[in-house]
């Protein structure tokens, strides 16, 4: 039997690879250059599943992943993973602190290390990369450049660690999701994620949706909004809630929301992450 194929945001050495290894160390891991490419790999059958970041405890939601789920892909969330994230400042061998004029990394990593960069390298040019590992690859070909990335990336690309644990908070956590063609059967300890929006704008619309949950004693674990990308001032609402979409009270609430919405999309129901999982 061949190993499961799991796509991740590459190249090797990213936190997404670390999450994929944590999820299934026996799988065949396939690196892709963007979140959109990871989703496309699963959509097209090149991989059975894809691992992408969706939320960070410092920087909040990963908009690339949310936009793919809302606008581009019909994939479902099958699992969630939560990993501690420790960032390092990597340089080419022999470089010193005074040599660093450019710092490269993924925008999420740059945001998570903003305080360190502003204090220690206030004059450095900040350059966004497709991933933390891609930043290390780019760094190798540039003079006076450093990259914010993982310890594993330092090993893979023969870089030196100039500084470690440079994230703004020591308890920095990132939530990853496993994307697949279908979500997960009920386990008794589940979470459901969805998106919805309204065709018109009138008082009480959002309250009526929230009452679908409160009247059934369903706990909401996350509420946020994203622009529809069609007109200024129009938003798509995103919810995470306790329970599985197939369970009676949750299913009833979702039907009530669907009846009021112009856009309604269930991203999936999946086992709720626990630290002992």
- Catalytic residue positions, numbered: 174, 176
The residues facing 193 across adjacent strands are 240, 268
Taking a C-beta distance cutoff of 8 angstroms, is the pair 69, 259 a contact? no
Instruction: Kindly write down the DSSP assignment for every residue of 83-121, as one continuous string.
Output: EE---EEEE-TT--GGG--EEEE-HHHHHHTHHHHHHH-
Residue pair 75/138 in contact (Cβ under 8 Å)? The answer is no
**The total number of residues written for the chain in this structure:** 277
CA–CA dist 83, 167 (Å, integer): 14
* Radius of gyration, alpha carbons of the chain: 20
Residue among 257, 267, 266, 265 nearest 206 (CA): 257
Order of strands, sheet of 102-105, starting from the edge strand that comes earlier in the sequence: 125-128, 102-105, 145-149, 88-91, 160-164
**How many angstroms separate the CA atoms of 239 and 194, rounded?**
5
**97's tokens:** 């602190």
Tokens for 23?
A: 């999820």
């Amino acid at each position: 039997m061949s190993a499961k194929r799991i796509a991740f945001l590459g190249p090797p050495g990213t936190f997404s690879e670390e999450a994929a290894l944590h999820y299934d160390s026996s799988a065949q891991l396939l690196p892709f250059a963007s979140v959109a490419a990871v989703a496309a790999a699963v959509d097209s059958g090149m991989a059975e599943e894809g691992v992408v970041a969706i939320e960070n405890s410092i920087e909040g939601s990963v908009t690339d992943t949310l936009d793919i789920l809302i606008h581009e892909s019909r994939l479902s969330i099958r699992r969630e993973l939560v990993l501690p994230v420790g960032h390092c400042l990597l340089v080419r061998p022999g470089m010193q602190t005074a040599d660093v004029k450019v710092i490269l990394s993924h925008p999420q990593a740059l945001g998570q290390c903003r305080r360190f960069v502003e204090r220690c390298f206030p004059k450095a040019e900040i350059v966004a990369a497709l991933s933390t590992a891609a930043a290390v690859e780019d760094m190798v070909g540039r003079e006076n450049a450093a990259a914010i990335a993982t310890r594993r990336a330092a090993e893979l690309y023969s870089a030196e660690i100039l500084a470690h644990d440079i994230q703004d908070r020591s308890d920095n956590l990132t939530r990853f999701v496993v994307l697949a063609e279908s979500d997960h059967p009920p386990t008794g300890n589940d979470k459901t994620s969805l998106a919805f929006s309204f065709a018109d704008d009138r008082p009480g619309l959002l309250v009526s949706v929230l009452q679908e949950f409160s009247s059934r004693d369903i706990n909401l674990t996350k509420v946020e909004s994203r622009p529809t990308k069609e007109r200024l001032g129009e938003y798509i609402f995103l919810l995470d809630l306790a329970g599985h979409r197939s369970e009676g009270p949750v299913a009833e609430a979702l039907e009530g929301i669907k009846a009021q919405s112009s856009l309604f999309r269930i991203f999936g129901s999946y086992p709720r992450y626990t630290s002992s999982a």
